[in-house]
Homo-oligomer: A and B are copies of this chain.
Amino acid sequence: MYSPTTKIIDIGKRPIDDYVFEAIISFQEGVDNIILKGRGDFISRAIDVYWALKDRLGNSIELVDIEIGSERVRGRMRSYIALKIRRKY
C-alpha cells in the first residue's frame, strides 16, 4: 500500500530562494507533501517562502493545511506556523 511521504522544512535565516529550491528538489525526488515550518520571527518568512514557491510551481502545488501553534523553546512559549503543501502532479 502506498503511503504519501512528507518532508518538514524548518525556515530560518537563509535566503528565501534556498528554501524554495530545497522544496522543488524534494518534490522532484518524489516527496508528496512539504511542511514549511516557521517559528517566532520566521513565521512571516515561511509564508513568503510559500508565495515564492507558488510563483514558481503555480497550480502543480496546493496549500492543504495551515496550522498555528505554540511551543516551549528554551523555557519561553513561541508561536509557530506550519504550512502543508501537496504536490498535485
* CB closest chain-B residue, reference A51: B70
For residue A64, CB closer than 8 A to chain B, the reply is: no
Interface size, A (range)? 10 to 19
CA–CA, A51 and B77, complex, Å:
10
CB-CB contacts below 8 Å: A43-69 with B? 43-44, 47-48, 50-51, 63, 66, 68
User: Could you tell me which A residues sit within 8 Å of B by CB distance?
Assistant: 40-41, 43-44, 47-48, 50-51, 63, 66, 68, 70, 77, 79, 81, 83
CB<8 Å pairs between A and B, sample of 21: A40-B44, A41-B41, A41-B44, A43-B43, A43-B44, A43-B47, A43-B81, A44-B44, A44-B79, A47-B68, A47-B79, A47-B81, A48-B79, A50-B68, A51-B70, A51-B79, A63-B68, A66-B66, A66-B68, A68-B83, A81-B81
